[in-house]
Structure 1
Amino acid sequence: MSGISKGSLKPHLLQLKCHFTWKLLLMHTELEDRLNNQVTFLVTKNKYMVYNLLAYVMHLKGDYPKAIANLEKAEEMIKENNPDETDHRYLVTYGNYAWVFYYLNQYEESQKYIDKVEQIHKELKDTPGRAEICGEKAWALLTFSADHYEEAKQCFEKALELEPEDPEWNSGYATAVYRLEGFNGRQCPASECRSIELLERAVEKNPNDAVVKALLALKLLDLNRSDEGKTYIEEALEQAPSSPYVLRYVAKFYRRAGMVDEALRVLETAINLTPTSGFLHYQIGLCYRQKYLTKKKESGKWRNTQTDRESSDLSQKAIFHLEKVLEYKKTAVYAYIDLVKIYCEVKEYQKAEDTYQAILALTNLTDEEKQQIYCSYGRFKEFSIRSESEAIKYYKKSLQFNILQNEREFSVEALKRISSKKFENNNHDAEAFALLGLIHKANGEKDKAIDCYEQALKYDPDNEEYVIELCELKLVIYSKKKVE
């Protein structure tokens, strides 16, 4: 053992299947809180997976005593539920131990856990625990970041190939597909929704999983089958009335079904259990915003002191909770955008502007988020600030991406609307022609785009942007003809 060195250990460590070799990057600072809440509230025999993931998060923070303490908890839970010392559920935990001791420069301890992993593999022989490893990796990916959802789905598929009846892998696979279908605001057509049958299968395999029942209810609501969904929601609530992970989805169902007061009652229970949950504060903020908009619509022109006071109270509650989301989760783009909407409703335009600047200052924004932000910012500039030039700038930025269809269509229609207004004032307006050219280009109508940019240059011959756009379009057409 005395001859063990850092260099000799590394190749063996890299062969281990555990959190340290799964390339998990910490994207959100609130993950530790979420995992601690799962430890407290989740009812499952597989809670050791949460402790394993917590240990890895502690490693990322450089807190190795806590990392070891969480691994000890994971090991303890495996022993309680699986007294067989050669159980494959130890493989990931022992792999994590080996890496933690490696980082602590305790190379003999690290080698001891490498040896334990190898011994388990020998004793298991033809059943090396591949399903367990794939499943635990999948849950880690699913928990860690939305960027990992697709890989998580693939890992659950591998686990199910080996153990098709396993309730945990069925639940995980259904959850991954469900999240992917709604990722970044996507709307999955009913004919393409795979998650519905997967969620139904997961409920059948594990009728005690209240979270999966709640997800099934939400999917049924998406498919306009709200009565069926409500049945599952009520079952989930009856099974787990004090689980914030169930209550959050129950509240989401009620809010989207128009039962806002019921949603708020559920959310009040949940927020008392997990007061730092950004997800719950977001749901509460949306509920109050919805109540504010309803109150505003109902009052209409019959305004009085009382309705103004009630409206103000609802808007301030919405703002309070949406600001709370950003206090706990500074990268929550969706919360920034909804906060801006309520700022605009109450004419707090400077706060809205400051919020947009805060969003644009975020690093690691996805293309979907950029498209959403630019479209929203363009709308703000057009309708709240009344600056067409600034609105055009951000609508054009939004059109650089072709991911979110709603944002793309809104940006196109906005640019059409602005160009029409310009033509009404001056039918020789160069920018109006250029905007139409951009729209034709975005729609793949290159010949029409060329015509528009040529017209734009006719009335503004020195515009460098129009010249570049026209040259690029002509080059694309020339290259295509040359290939043909």
Structure 2
Amino acid sequence: MSSISKNSLKDSLLQLECHFTWTLLKQDVDLDDLEERICDQTEFFTKNNITNYNLLSYVCHLKNSNEEALRNLQKAEEVAQKNYPDEIARRNLVTWGNYAWIYYHMGRYKEAQTYISKVENSCKNLSITAQQKIQLPEIYAEQGWALLKFGAKYYQKARDCFEKALKSEPNNPEFNAGYAIAMYRLDDSFHRECKDVSLSLEPLKHAAKLNPKDTCIMALLALKFQDLKQVDEGERYIEEAMQKTPDLPYLLRYAAKFYRRKGEADKALEILKKALAVTPKSAFLHHQVGLCYKTKLFQLKKATRYPPQRQVEELTRLSIFHFKTASDQNPKFFFAHIDLANMYAVAKRYEEAEETFQKAFQINILSHTDKQDFYYHYGNFQHFHMKSESEAIRYYIEGLKIETDSYMRNKCRNVLKKLLEQRIQQGLGDAADFGTLGLVHNLSSEKHEAIECYEKAIALHPDNEEYLSALCELRLSISS
């Protein structure tokens, strides 16, 4: 094929709605972990398997396995034929778009053109234009599910896709489930531990009502009730879900999380071991097991002043083992790395803690809130284990400088104020402490308090240009 016709083919490909045109970047996920998760889902959730096989095909392509990618697209077509025999063209638009792109990347341009033509002819038969094709609710939903799988950076886009799908079919159970999950993930990303904030409660309740067989939605609803301190209501949903699908690993992982957060770590461990028997390579499950042992360790230390050393060592060892397993199985699992680093610190294995913190920070898919999390925990490591207040202050400030409002940013702010004010009250405060407290107030939009601190800093260090400049800017911002 000539370069001109190849370029013309590329123009047609870019008009297709499929995984190749949805800007799903491989650097944003761990591809092996994603492949493992999708394979598990094809086994346990047969209803969504057009979506799963299409996404699996795209992942195979990203891993340079185009023949395997084609086999998964065949499976997607088979599911469409079996479940939607009267809507073959409509249900296969994304699949055929993916076929066209994969053949193009394989240099098989004739087959690529065949699938482009199939999409175009199907659109004509469905009496829709290329622009209207984009507006089909099934395509919006399929894009939404793919975006959810690619991680936190994509959650808002996923929510937008499900919102668009719901405009056409407001009571579609699958679209409502996708929307509710996206809202739950956004809650978790931006309002984690802010227990009075919930954007997802009503969408989850609506999705559970539309499809009472979806026990994963019921479990997320239970966790949301628990967030809002309505634990009994949450437990009612968890117990009902576990009666309906007692062996579904996706339900079991959420049920275990519910009981661990309730303080029933042994019950949670029992559930997690059952889930691990079904999906032994799940990094999520190993992380949850590690959290259970960590919970048991802290409960033991809280219950008695001198806990048995052998028990402490065994719970620490088990916690470290499962956090390390989770981070080894999914090298981009940020919270597994952070929890592992913290447990190494508890065990006084400081070099390994330092190394693990650095690995966590080098993960290339971190959100602003993840980075705030890192700076808070690494600041704590410097403060409580390395006994360096100055280094701790430096990292807490880095967390505060990231302006995304979050629970962890508030934690950085509060610990900074407490540390600096203690030093000042004890008579240890120097110009740097007043200057730093001024910066903390300034980053917290507390301008009058910031001015007062900078004035005290300048009184102790009159020629400091940084303090003079900051004070000048603050005064100008107030007077303007």
TM-score by length of structure 1 reads 0.91
User: Residues 228-287 of structure 1: CA distance to partner in whole angstroms, max 9, x if unpaired?
Assistant: 222221222222222211111111111112221111111101112222211111100000
The aligned residue for residue 145 of structure 2 is 139
Greater Cα offset, 404-413 or 94-103: 404-413
1:175 matched to 2:173? The reply is no
Tell me if the contact between 1:450 and 1:470 (Cα under 8 Å) persists in the aligned partners. no
Greater Cα offset, 28-37 or 47-56: 28-37
How far apart are the structure 1 equivalents of 2:421 and 2:169?
Answer: 61
The aligned residue for residue 399 of structure 2 is 398
CA offset at residue 459 of structure 1? 2.9
SS in 2 for 1:379: helix
How far apart are the structure 2 equivalents of 1:405 and 1:162?
Answer: 34
Alignment of 1:268-347 (within 5 A): 268-301=273-306, 303=307, 307-347=308-348
Tell me if the contact between 1:142 and 1:149 (Cα under 8 Å) persists in the aligned partners. yes
CA offset at residue 196 of structure 1? 2.0
User: Residues 200-230 of structure 1: CA distance to partner in whole angstroms, max 9, x if unpaired?
Assistant: 2212222221111111111122222222222
User: Residues 52-91 of structure 1: CA distance to partner in whole angstroms, max 9, x if unpaired?
Assistant: 0011111111110011011011011111111236441111
How far apart are the structure 2 equivalents of 1:188 and 1:429?
Answer: 35
2:22 aligned partner, one-letter code: W
Greater Cα offset, 70-79 or 224-233: 224-233
Distance 1:170 1:419, change over 3 A: closer
Greater Cα offset, 63-72 or 120-129: 120-129
SS in 2 for 1:186: coil
The aligned residue for residue 67 of structure 1 is 69
CA offset at residue 297 of structure 1? 2.1
CA offset at residue 292 of structure 1? 1.0
Distance 1:311 1:99, change over 3 A: same
Q: Equivalent of 2:101, from 74, 80, 99?
A: 99
1:398 aligned partner, one-letter code: G
TM-score by length of structure 2 reads 0.92
1:395 aligned partner, one-letter code: Y
Distance 1:193 1:458, change over 3 A: closer
The aligned residue for residue 79 of structure 1 is 81
The aligned residue for residue 430 of structure 2 is 429
How far apart are the structure 1 equivalents of 2:99 and 2:162?
Answer: 24
CA offset at residue 346 of structure 1? 2.5
SS in 2 for 1:375: helix
2:273 aligned partner, one-letter code: E
How far apart are the structure 2 equivalents of 1:183 and 1:32?
Answer: 23
CA offset at residue 329 of structure 1? 1.7
1:124 aligned partner, one-letter code: L
Tell me if the contact between 2:99 and 2:115 (Cα under 8 Å) persists in the aligned partners. yes
Distance 1:314 1:107, change over 3 A: same
How far apart are the structure 2 equivalents of 1:257 and 1:321?
Answer: 21
Greater Cα offset, 181-190 or 46-55: 181-190
Alignment of 1:73-222 (within 5 A): 73-84=75-86, 86-125=88-127, 130-184=136-190, 186-187=192-193, 190=196, 193-222=198-227
1:262 aligned partner, one-letter code: K
Tell me if the contact between 2:140 and 2:164 (Cα under 8 Å) persists in the aligned partners. yes
1:231 matched to 2:229? The reply is no
User: Residues 310-331 of structure 1: CA distance to partner in whole angstroms, max 9, x if unpaired?
Assistant: 2211111011001111101222
Tell me if the contact between 2:372 and 2:400 (Cα under 8 Å) persists in the aligned partners. yes
Distance 1:440 1:198, change over 3 A: closer
The aligned residue for residue 374 of structure 2 is 373
CA offset at residue 366 of structure 1? 2.3
CA offset at residue 164 of structure 1? 1.5
Tell me if the contact between 1:182 and 1:188 (Cα under 8 Å) persists in the aligned partners. no
Tell me if the contact between 2:54 and 2:95 (Cα under 8 Å) persists in the aligned partners. yes
Tell me if the contact between 1:156 and 1:173 (Cα under 8 Å) persists in the aligned partners. yes
1:41 matched to 2:44? The reply is yes
Tell me if the contact between 2:195 and 2:227 (Cα under 8 Å) persists in the aligned partners. no
How far apart are the structure 2 equivalents of 1:366 and 1:86?
Answer: 39
1:6 matched to 2:9? The reply is no
How far apart are the structure 2 equivalents of 1:2 and 1:363?
Answer: 39
CA offset at residue 341 of structure 1? 2.6
1:202 aligned partner, one-letter code: A
1:32 matched to 2:35? The reply is yes
2:473 aligned partner, one-letter code: L
CA offset at residue 102 of structure 1? 0.9
Q: Unpaired runs of 5+ in structure 2?
A: none
Q: How many residues end up aligned between the 2 structures?
A: 473
SS in 2 for 1:399: helix
User: Residues 463-484 of structure 1: CA distance to partner in whole angstroms, max 9, x if unpaired?
Assistant: 5xxx224314413543664xx4
The aligned residue for residue 250 of structure 2 is 245
2:263 aligned partner, one-letter code: G
Q: Unpaired runs of 5+ in structure 1?
A: none
How far apart are the structure 1 equivalents of 2:176 and 2:234?
Answer: 20
Tell me if the contact between 2:281 and 2:329 (Cα under 8 Å) persists in the aligned partners. yes
The aligned residue for residue 265 of structure 2 is 260
Q: Equivalent of 2:466, from 435, 446, 468?
A: 468
1:25 aligned partner, one-letter code: L
How far apart are the structure 2 equivalents of 1:424 and 1:468?
Answer: 24
Tell me if the contact between 2:53 and 2:75 (Cα under 8 Å) persists in the aligned partners. yes
Tell me if the contact between 1:4 and 1:107 (Cα under 8 Å) persists in the aligned partners. no
How far apart are the structure 1 equivalents of 2:204 and 2:474?
Answer: 47
2:9 aligned partner, one-letter code: L
Tell me if the contact between 2:205 and 2:221 (Cα under 8 Å) persists in the aligned partners. yes
How far apart are the structure 1 equivalents of 2:453 and 2:294?
Answer: 43
How far apart are the structure 2 equivalents of 1:204 and 1:406?
Answer: 31
Tell me if the contact between 2:152 and 2:367 (Cα under 8 Å) persists in the aligned partners. no
Tell me if the contact between 1:252 and 1:283 (Cα under 8 Å) persists in the aligned partners. yes
2:419 aligned partner, one-letter code: I
Tell me if the contact between 1:98 and 1:113 (Cα under 8 Å) persists in the aligned partners. yes
How far apart are the structure 2 equivalents of 1:469 and 1:69?
Answer: 65
How far apart are the structure 2 equivalents of 1:293 and 1:196?
Answer: 30
